[in-house]
């Protein structure tokens, strides 16, 4: 059975697929990387790319999970299907309450992911803001 906290698992091509959960403020609370195989290093690099240099993503921010058929309602198969790596903004033990920390947000126009200080209220990425001014 698929757990209620797992995002929909997309069809996989050869490349890893990254997805995320956005709350009503468009802040992303969780990112998931799906691939046939994914390491902490690879997942951290992918999330780091989204943050650009705004914040440093640490290995402790990433959790790796192997998905089996029973995770995906595919009872006839028994072998490992794919791996998932999750980044969640609250994993880190040194969880920060700093109001100036940076989070990931989903652009309301182009749906790209962009970093910004969590107390800021922009809903558009830099590119979309620039093209509207
Ligand atoms: Zn945009």
List Cα–Cα distances, 48 to 68, 70, 89, 115, in angstroms.
Answer: 27, 31, 12, 10
Tell me the CA–centroid distance for residue 112 and ligand 1, in Å.
6
Tell me the CA–centroid distance for residue 80 and ligand 1, in Å.
36
Higher pLDDT, 69 or 107: 107
Tell me the CA–centroid distance for residue 104 and ligand 1, in Å.
13
Instruction: Give the model confidence (pLDDT) of 33-84 as tens digits.
Output: 999 899 999 999 999 999 998 888 989 889 999 988 777 777 666 677 789 9
Tell me the CA–centroid distance for residue 123 and ligand 1, in Å.
8
Instruction: State the CB neighbour count (10 A cutoff) for residue 108.
Output: 13
Alpha carbons 75 and 122: distance in angstroms, whole number: 44
Higher pLDDT, 8 or 72: 72
Q: Is the distance from CB of 88 to CB of 71 less than 8 angstroms? A: no
Instruction: Please give the pLDDT value at position 11.
Output: 60
Tell me the CA–centroid distance for residue 30 and ligand 1, in Å.
19
Q: Is the distance from CB of 84 to CB of 32 less than 8 angstroms? A: yes
């Amino acid at each position: 059975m698929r757990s209620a906290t797992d995002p929909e698992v997309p069809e996989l091509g050869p490349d890893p697929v990254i997805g995320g959960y956005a709350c009503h403020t468009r802040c992303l609370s969780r990112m998931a990387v799906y691939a046939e195989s994914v390491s902490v290093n690879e997942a951290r690099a992918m999330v780091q790319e989204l943050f650009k240099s705004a914040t440093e993503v640490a290995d402790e921010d990433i959790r790796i999970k192997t998905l089996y058929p029973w995770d995906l309602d595919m009872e006839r198969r028994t072998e490992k299907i794919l791996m998932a790596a999750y980044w969640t903004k609250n994993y880190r033990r040194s969880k920060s309450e700093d109001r100036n920390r940076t989070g990931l947000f989903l652009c309301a126009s182009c749906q790209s992911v962009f970093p910004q200080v969590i107390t800021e209220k922009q809903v558009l990425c830099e590119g979309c803001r620039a093209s509207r001014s």
